[in-house]
Amino acid sequence: MRVWISLGSNIDPETNIPAAFAALERLGSLPARSGVYRSAPHGGAQGPDFLNAVVLLETEVEDLRAELRRIEEELGRVRPAPPNAPRPIDLDVLWEAGAPPDPAQLALPYVVVPLADVAPDLRDPATGKTVRDLARG
């Protein structure tokens, strides 16, 4: 399975983003990895800026979302917490090959800009625009 995953952290992100990359590599291969981008907290949340990235993961893991939650817990994320609270790591499936992406995720600059690094020619089935076009605004 090919899946694009977003990573975000605003608690010790210089440590947690590389640790998340390493944990994801244990689930399969990472043939593409974006640059790391800084962004302000989203949705009116307070706190330090986030560091965000996207990876392409090729994996055979059956319950990938459960594995992502396990990695988040391993890196210190506590649930439940307010939706936009500071966090050591946030891992989200953005897009699975053969399945439509979450349109709400593709509207977020801190998601679509790093996604354009690793998948510029993917097309949003709802708009027909490429990720590169979405990242340009």
pLDDT of residue 80: 78
Mean pLDDT over 69-94 rounds to: 91
The span from the CA of 48 to the CA of 128, in Å, is 35
Cβ neighbours, 10 Å, residue 43: 8
Output the pTM of the full model.
0.94
And the tokens for 68? 């992502």
Phi, psi of 62 (to 5 degrees): -70, -50
Which pLDDT belongs to residue 84? 75
Least confident of 28-32, 34-38, 81-85, 104-108: 81-85
Q: What is the pLDDT of residues 28-79, one digit of tens each?
A: 999 999 999 999 987 777 789 999 999 999 999 999 999 999 999 999 998 8
Give the whole-number percent of the chain exceeding pLDDT 70: 99
Place of tokens 């590169």: 132
Does the 2-99 domain belong in CATH 3.40.50.1100?
no
Every domain of the chain and the residues it spans: 2-99
How many other CB atoms are there within 10 angstroms of residue 48's CB atom? 14
